[in-house]
Every structure is written in C-alpha cells, then in structure tokens.
C-alpha cells in the first residue's frame, strides 16, 4: 500500500489548496491519505478534509506530546511516519505532503518512477540547498542524485527506509534532549547543536549513512506557506474559512504577490525556485 501523510495544525485554508491540487494529480487512486493532527489543532481542518470525500482518507487521533515543548512538532511528525509506515507495509511508499505544499499533476507519478532507483528518499521540490550551477543539467532523465541536501518539501520514502533509518531515532532520548542526542549520535555533524527538529535529524541520518537523494530536474511541487509560527503572521488571512481560502488562493498562485507576502528573499526562493514555476492553472 502507498500512504500519503499530511500533518495538520491550524491552517485549514492552506490545507484546502493543498488537497485541491492533490485531488487533480494523477496516480492517487491507490493512495490512502493519512491525516495527522497535532494536539490542539483547528477543527476547521476536519471540515476541509470532509469536502474531499473522493479521496481515501484516515485521521489519526491527536496525541499530546509528553516531552518538552520544543519537541512537539518533531513528535507529531515522527509519530505520523510511524503510523504511515505501518499502514504501508514493508513494500509500500510513504509520501509526506505538509499542509502548505502545492503539488503539480505529476507529483505522485514522478515519485513512483524515481522510487525504483536505490535512494534514501525522493524529493519533488527544487534542490535549493545546492547552488544552481552545481545541479546536473537535464540529460533526458527525470531525476538526478544529490547528497546532503535533505528538505522535507514534497518528500517520499520507502516504508523500509523509515523503519530502518528514521524510527530508531524517534526515542525518548531524542525527544527529551534533542541537542544532546544529536551531538552524541552523529559524528558527521556540520550543524552542531542547531537545527535539531525532525528535518535536521533526518538530514543527519542521511548524511551519516551516505545515502543518495533523488531530485527532479523540473520541480513537481513548491512550498506555499508564506505565514506560520516561524515565518510570522503579518500576512495571515482573516475572516471566515471561505474568505481565508480565497485570500490564500489570490496569493499563492501569483508570483508577484508571493514575493511581497514572503518578505525575505530566502522564503520567496523556497516558494518560487529558480526553475520554471509550476503552472498556476491547476488550482
């Protein structure tokens, strides 16, 4: 079985656009969508999910994180991987699409093709951690290998990689003291005690095991989250759910408005990579 994990918290208006684009992608007929709400989530998310009743979906009950607050986001997502990998089985694939990632029509079919090659994971967004001049030029293939450039935007793992490499680190020792745990477990650690949430943990796992990541020559998704706890809320939409859905839609499919809303150039690059932008017509 193939499972798409969708973590959710308090941005139902972005989740709407994420699911609308997923619903128009090819290859979703055999995918089960697993929604993982974080504790205290906005229940409007359930209203949005119910509106996409043609998608096979399952909602994991939210769990209060029993560890220090700094581990909350990591705990929720890593527990989500645990549930998704268990559902998928050893031969399955687990996609992870956060509630602010906009996928293109061939997002899942690209992953399925790239997953046939040995890899740590496949990532369908732009490899912005590697300078553009260092990325391989298109050569007739759909993907290329990259090392040490993990990012969680539009990622897919085989369930076996999650079981063998990621979940063994989702322990009380990590959640209680992530900085101490990372310093003790990872010898090749150029990031020191910084960036210790789940994405930093997973990058260290990949780097220490020298496992390749596969990226597309042309991105199949982009990050549309121009507001959040770590990006600020000055541009957050307001009003009813329908009004917020419209405000978000007026922004995330418009390059100029995304540039203005993103604020920092690095945030705009994340949402509008230096490759051809995904078409704005599939919303």
Output the CA angle 203-68-167, nearest 5 degrees: 40
Average pLDDT over residues 228-253: 91
Which carries the bigger pLDDT value, residue 102 or residue 193? 102
| CA 138 to chain CA mean position, Å | 24
Using the structure block, give the residue that is written with the tokens 């050893």.
Answer: 90
Q: What is the mean pLDDT of the chain?
A: 90
Q: What residues contact residue 274 under an 8 Å CB cut-off, 6+ apart?
A: 126, 132
Q: Residues 258-280: pLDDT tens digits?
A: 888 888 887 787 776 444 444 44
Q: CA dist 261 to 43, 48, 115, 248, 268, Å? A: 26, 24, 34, 10, 9
Burial 253-265 (b: 16+ CB within 10 A, else e): beeeebeebbeee
Q: Residues 175-229: pLDDT tens digits?
A: 999 999 999 999 878 888 888 999 999 999 998 888 899 999 989 999 999 998 7
Average pLDDT over residues 227-234: 83
Q: Residues 52-89: pLDDT tens digits?
A: 999 999 999 999 999 999 899 999 999 999 999 999 99
Q: How many CB atoms lie within 10 A of CB 203?
A: 21
148 band by pLDDT with thresholds 50, 70 and 90: low
Residue among 134, 153, 127 nearest 217 (CA): 127
Average pLDDT over residues 245-265: 88
Q: How far apart are the first and last CA of the chain?
A: 27
Token reading at 54? 């043609």
The pTM for the full model equals 0.94
Check pLDDT > 50 for residue 90. Answer: yes
Beta strands in the chain (DSSP E): 2-8, 31-37, 57-59, 93-96, 101-103, 121-123, 143-146, 155-158, 213-216, 221-223
Residue among 196, 168, 18 nearest 96 (CA): 18
Percent of the chain clearing pLDDT 90 (strictly above): 71
**Domain 2-222 falls in which CATH fold?**
Spore Coat Polysaccharide Biosynthesis Protein SpsA; Chain A (3.90.550)
Pairing of strands 93-96, 101-103: unpaired
């Amino acid at each position: 079985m193939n499972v798409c994990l969708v973590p959710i918290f308090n941005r139902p208006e972005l989740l709407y656009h994420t699911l609308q684009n997923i619903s128009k992608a090819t290859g979703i007929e055999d995918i089960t969508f697993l929604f993982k709400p974080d504790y205290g989530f906005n229940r409007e998310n359930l209203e949005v999910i119910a509106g996409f009743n043609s998608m096979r979906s399952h909602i994991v009950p939210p769990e209060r994180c029993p560890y220090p607050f700094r581990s909350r986001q990591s705990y929720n997502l890593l527990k989500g991987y645990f549930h998704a990998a268990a559902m998928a089985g050893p031969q399955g694939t687990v996609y992870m699409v956060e509630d602010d990632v906009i996928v293109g029509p061939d997002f899942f079919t690209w992953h399925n093709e790239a997953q046939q090659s040995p890899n740590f994971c496949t990532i369908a967004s732009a490899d912005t951690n590697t300078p553009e001049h260092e990325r391989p030029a298109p050569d007739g293939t759909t993907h290329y290998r990259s090392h040490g450039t993990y990012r969680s935007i539009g990622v897919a793992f085989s369930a076996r990689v999650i079981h063998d490499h990621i979940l063994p680190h989702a322990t009380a020792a990590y959640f209680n003291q992530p900085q101490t745990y990372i310093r003790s477990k990872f010898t090749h650690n150029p990031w020191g005690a910084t960036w210790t949430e789940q994405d930093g943990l997973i990058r260290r796992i990949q780097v220490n095991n020298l496992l390749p990541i596969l990226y597309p020559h042309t991105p199949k998704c982009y990050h549309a989250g121009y507001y959040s706890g770590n990006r600020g809320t000055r541009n957050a939409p307001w009003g009813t759910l329908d009004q917020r859905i419209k405000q978000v839609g007026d922004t995330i499919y418009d390059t100029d408005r995304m540039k203005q809303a993103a604020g920092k150039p690095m945030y705009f690059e994340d949402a509008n990579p230096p490759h051809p932008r995904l078409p704005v017509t599939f919303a």
